[in-house]
Copies of this chain bind each other. A is one copy, B any other.
Amino acid sequence: MSDDQKKRSPTISDVAREAGVSTSTVSRALSRKIPVHPSTMTRIEAAVAKLNYQPSVLARGLKEGSSRTLGLIVPDITNPVFPAAALGAESEALSQGYQVFLAHSHEDSVLESQLIQLMLQRKVDGLLIASAAEGFCREKWLQLPVPVIQLIRKFDDQLPYAICDQDQIGQLAASHLAMRGYQRPVIITGNQALPLYRQRKDSFIRTLLRAGYSSDAITVLDGSQWRNEGLGMVQSVIASKTDAVFASCDMQALGIARGLLAANIKIPGDVAIIGMDNLALCHLMTPAITSIRQPLKDLGKKAMSSLLSMIRDQSAETHIKVSCWLNPGETT
Contact = CB atoms under 8 A, between A and B. Distances in A.
A69 B122 contact: yes
Nearest to A267: B286
A118 interface: yes
A145 B261 CA distance: 57
A284 B230 contact: yes
A286 B258 CA distance: 6
A267 to B, nearest CB: 10
Nearest to A70: B101
B77 A83 contact: yes
A89 B9 CA distance: 26
B99 A119 contact: yes
B83 A254 contact: no
Q: Which of A9, A54, A146, A286 has the most CB of B within 10 A?
A: A286
A100 B103 CA distance: 8
A104 interface: yes
Given A122-B69, A123-B56, A145 B9 contact: yes
Interface of A: 1-2, 4-5, 7-9, 54-59, 61-62, 65, 67, 69, 72, 76-78, 80, 82-84, 86-87, 90-91, 94, 99-104, 115, 117-123, 142-148, 228-231, 251, 254-255, 257-258, 261-262, 280-281, 284-286, 288, 297, 310
15 contacts: A5-B145, A9-B120, A54-B117, A58-B62, A82-B83, A94-B115, A101-B102, A228-B280, A229-B280, A230-B284, A251-B280, A251-B281, A251-B284, A254-B284, A258-B288
